[in-house]
Amino acid sequence: MKITRSLFGKTNEGIEIELFTLTNDHQVSIQITNYGAIITSIVTPDKNGELTDIALGFGKLENYLSPEYLGSYPYFGSICGRVCNRIADGKFTLEGKDYTLAVNNGPNHLHGGLVGFDKKVWTAEILEDTDNAGVRLSYLSADMEEGYPGNLITTCTYTLNNSNELSIEYTAETDQTTLVNLTNHTYFNLTGGKETILNHELELPAKTFTESVGSIPTGKIVTVKDTAFDFLAKKKLGKDIEPLPDGYDLNFVLDNVEGKLVYAGCLSEETSGRMIEVHTTQPGIQLYTGYWIPELIVDGRKKFGKYSGVALETQHFPDSVNKSHFPSVILTPGQNFYEKTVYKFGTK
């Protein structure tokens, strides 16, 4: 196990940004930057031992800051917060007070607003021992940042071990009642970008999903049975995708009321033999097949585009603050917020 740190670039304000490379004894390496707490790269071997980057991202900070990327912003690898996913009309009421947030996704608030956690510079601390290599990233979100009440101290700890497991642990504390719902927005492509993700196979243990209209839950939780959203048995992402105008972008219910670390799904791809198992303490997982990922020119060649990656975002449900029967995203002073997600990389 080892970890290295290097300079990744400078922000438009001249702030130096670091890149951390976690490497285990089985040739798995993961790169993370303290800008947006972004996972920039995940390199794993395929069934023949060939190493490929299976995460959508860039090798230079300047690409994350470019107008071309931000113009159709897909949140590659970032931590989304204070509240990931959508809040209807950017409005909620908390302890009798009405709050209005920025709307940055049609009429709705998405992934923390105009300048969410994905665009912040986090403080980094290296964690290293014989069994793990990791980095703990911390950020203080000031009272009323992006419209959210309370000073919120958040940490995100990335840890890689020799079982080829990447653990992501989130903590948060607040001095006023506020909202917290954190996720990582990494997109995976197990072919390393040689093909789209439509031939990737996915299994999800979710028997239900949150019905949505215009990406906002109606409040109904409905069965996956006899729908395109049934992944109880492994199937290709492209099998039932054609009738869906924007592909998959939906929250699945994991029936994890107690917040235990439970199995949340498995993504696999036959030609490479690669697979990723997901375990989480969160109650939901958003499947997004990347319909709106922009096609970009990177170092002189075309990259990415529609269906070039799939995100498996563990989370609390979208618009939970406005749906009292959904798992709560409210955090009060004295409470310690904690969630954990594990991505285990392997081959069939």
Helix (H), strand (E), coil (C) string for 293-314: CCEEEECCEEEECCCCCEEEEE
Cα–Cα distance, 63 to 42 (Å, whole number)? 17
Is 269 labeled as catalytic in the residue annotation?
A: no
Cα–Cα distance, 341 to 348 (Å, whole number)? 22
Task: With cut-offs at 50, 70 and 90, classify the pLDDT of residue 144.
Answer: very high
- pLDDT tens for residues 40-75? 999 999 999 999 999 999 999 999 999 999 999 999
Catalytic residue among 185, 200, 279, 316: 185
Report pLDDT for 222: 98
Report pLDDT for 142: 98
Could you give the domains of the chain? 2-347 (2.70.98.10)
Task: With cut-offs at 50, 70 and 90, classify the pLDDT of residue 252.
Answer: very high
Asked if residues 16 and 7 have their Cβ atoms less than 8 Å apart, the reply is: yes
- pLDDT tens for residues 171-191? 999 999 999 999 999 999 999
Question: 192: which 2 tokens?
Answer: 């390393």
Is 95 labeled as catalytic in the residue annotation?
A: no
Q: Say which residue the tokens 């071997």 belong to.
A: 45
Instruction: Round the average pLDDT of the chain to a whole number and report it.
Output: 98
Q: Say which residue the tokens 């975002």 belong to.
A: 313
Catalytic residue among 145, 269, 277, 313: 313
